[in-house]
Amino acid sequence: PAERTLILSTWDFGAAANAAAYAQWKKSGSLLDAVEAGARIPEADPENHSVGHAGYPDRDGHVTLDAIIMDDRGNVGAVAALEDFAHPISVARRVMEKTPHTFLVGEGAHQFAEAEGFDKVAMPTPEAERAWRDWLKTARYKPVANSENQRGSALDHDTIGMLFCAPSGQLAGACTTSGMAFKLRGRVGDSPQAGSGLFVEAGVGAATATGVGEEVTRIAGSARVVASMRAGMTPQAACREAVLHIARLRGDAVRDAQVAFLAIDHRGRIGAFALQPGFTFAATDPAGRTRIQTAGNLKN
Ligand code: SD4
């Protein structure tokens, strides 16, 4: 059989997340369990300043978290602008399993998480608060490409997007982020929006996005990548097409911005493409071996 990928996730920190997802999949056989366990790793990482509790706050000093989980049977749950809770991905899953809804935000999401007994954690962390106070001195807002891989950058913005394709062809995905550092209060990016930050479709494939969320949301990026695969493109061609579309649509506005897509089809073939150089991802095969790879990009 052709070489296939089992788990695909954004950035080099995706390797640790893939390992947790793989271990959980071996244990329970559930793809949702696997992607949830994977996403919880960066959410808990005190060094990660744009996923989970150590994420940088918004402009007003509040850490607000966004997450989504989805499978290929029409199950989806998401939260946005959630404060005080350590694991938004788990709250998103609970929204999916325990409510008739797909998406809870802000205060309502908070109430729900509280009623469900999820763990709270103090945010921002002292380090994130320091970065925010530092940022307040100039209060300039300009996202930097690939800050994900330069820990400590004042404008860190990483997201973990994870895609899982079982050997049977069954699919699931998860995406979790603290969004853009020092964003306007109430800002929600692409990550928790089904079709933008993540999309999964049975018999076709799954896609996720990272980078400047507004640019992804404008084109419903992940849904577009999946639609291209449905129409017969390879995952690589589909990711490239979405990036090209953004570049053409937005021109100068995205000259320095990073946007990247990852995709996997139901046969376990993968694709990755970005506007700028520097987008890395972690791919794990069915034997549990992980490789960090670098995506193609529009600049070279
Ligand atoms: C957002 N897409 O909130 C996220 C941030 C991100 O790498 O992915 N950064 O816009």
DSSP state letters, 59-121 = TTS---EEEEEEETTS-EEEEEEE-SBS-HHHHHHHHHHHSS-SEEEHHHHHHHHHHTTPPB-
- The pTM score is 0.94
Percent of the chain beyond pLDDT 90? 88
Give the three-class secondary structure for 24. Answer: helix
For 162, the token pair is 């994870």
Q: Whose CA is nearest to atom 2 of ligand 1?
A: 213
CA–CA dist 128, 53 (Å, integer): 10
pLDDT of residue 159: 86
Residue 145 pLDDT grade (very low, low, confident, very high; cuts 50, 70, 90) = low
Q: What pLDDT, on a 0 to 100 scale, did the predictor assign at position 152?
A: 40
What letters, b where the CB count within 10 A reaches 16 and e where it falls short, cover 51-69?
A: bbbbbbbbbebebbbbbbb
List the binding residues for substrate.
Answer: 187-190, 210-213
Given pLDDT bands bounded at 50, 70 and 90, which one contains residue 2?
A: low
* pLDDT confidence tier of residue 295, bands split at 50, 70 and 90: very high
Distance 285 CA to ligand 1 centre (A): 26
Tokens for 251, please give them: 């021109």
Quote the ligand 1 centre to 209 CA distance (angstroms). Answer: 8
Probe target for ligand 1 pocket from 159, 216, 246, 276, with the most ligand atoms within 8 Å of CB? 159
Range 259-276 average pLDDT: 97
Q: Specify whether 159 is catalytic.
A: yes
What is the 8-class DSSP label of residue 157? -
150: left (phi over 0), alpha (psi -120 to 50) or beta: beta
- ω before 124 within 30° of 0 (cis)? yes
Residue ranges around ligand 1 (CB below 6 Å)? 50, 148, 157-159, 177, 179-180, 189-191, 210-213
Counting atoms of ligand 1 from 1, which one is nearest the CA of 158? 7
> What's the pLDDT at 77?
98
- How far from 192 is each of 3, 160, 234, 299, CA to CA, in Å? 31, 11, 25, 28
Q: What average pLDDT does the segment 216-242 reach?
A: 98
* 148 pLDDT above the threshold of 50: no
Looking up tokens 């995706």 gives: 14
Residue type for position 54: A
Ligand 1 centre from 3 Cα, in Å?
30
Ligand 1 centroid vs 169 CA: distance in angstroms? Answer: 28
